[in-house]
Amino acid sequence: MEEEEAILFWDGFAQDYAQIQQESSLQIAKEVVAYLLEQQVFPISIFVDFAAGAGRYIPAFYPYVNEYYAIDFSKEMLRIIEETIDDPQNKLHLIQQSQSDFLTTDQHWPCIFMAMNPALRDKKTLLQLRKKTDQLIILRTIAEVENVFQPFEEDPVAEKELQLNTYYKKWLSEEAIEWRSCQFEYMVKEEIDRDFFHLYFEDEYSLEQRKQMVQRIFGESLTVESHTKIIFELLLSR
């Protein structure tokens, strides 16, 4: 996806993305704070939240940062941050900037954090980001396993995304750059009924196929409990 197309996509998706994050019950932000305190990253004077999106991590990180720079290429994402996140100490700076422009500036930062950055996909970019900071922190989902819907879904793109941290570690190691990692594991449970399951796969499978799928998953039950195991991994390089 070209940069201009990506900006249009994320501007259009911003409200839905913010809603999805708002509804998440995962305590990942709090657990990351605890880890960064343990590693003496926090408290910190200047902190960059790059590809900040709708600002999911800002409320948790805010108390430990003197000057907080939230950078994203989507003006709609930054607008959501401005409208929904309190800044009582007037230390939150919102900057609209693409990754390519960010990398071409000369400024060096004490710490750059990024969660699920969709544009970090190659070794050159990773090394450029590492050179721009004393501490580079990368948070990504590395596993997501679900028992009701996932057996009938194939998503090679999503599978590749889950492998990115493996490549980051390999690329850093190839350049003898130190890193350490920490994993955070969650289990999400949700009750699913037969009718919803049928509708979910309506466009992908025939009625006969869906009946067989329902029998396999539900048996004689009207509902089943979906279990989703999610593992995040945080990389810290300094």
| pLDDT at res. 25 | 61
Dist CA 118 CA 229 (whole Å):
22
Sequence-separated (6 or more) residues with CB below 8 Å from residue 87: 62
DSSP 79: H
| pLDDT at res. 4 | 67
| pLDDT at res. 210 | 95
Q: What average pLDDT does the chain have? A: 92
State the pLDDT confidence band at 112, using cuts at 50, 70 and 90: very high
State the pLDDT confidence band at 231, using cuts at 50, 70 and 90: very high
Tally helices (H) and strands (E) across the chain: 10, 7
Dist CA 208 CA 89 (whole Å):
60
State the pLDDT confidence band at 158, using cuts at 50, 70 and 90: confident
Three-state DSSP state, 173:
helix
pLDDT tens for 43-88 read: 999 999 999 999 999 999 999 999 999 999 998 999 999 999 999 9
pTM summary value: 0.89
State the pLDDT confidence band at 13, using cuts at 50, 70 and 90: low
| pLDDT at res. 156 | 76
Dist CA 37 CA 35 (whole Å):
5
Q: Which of 147, 144, 151 is nearest to 209 (CA)?
A: 151
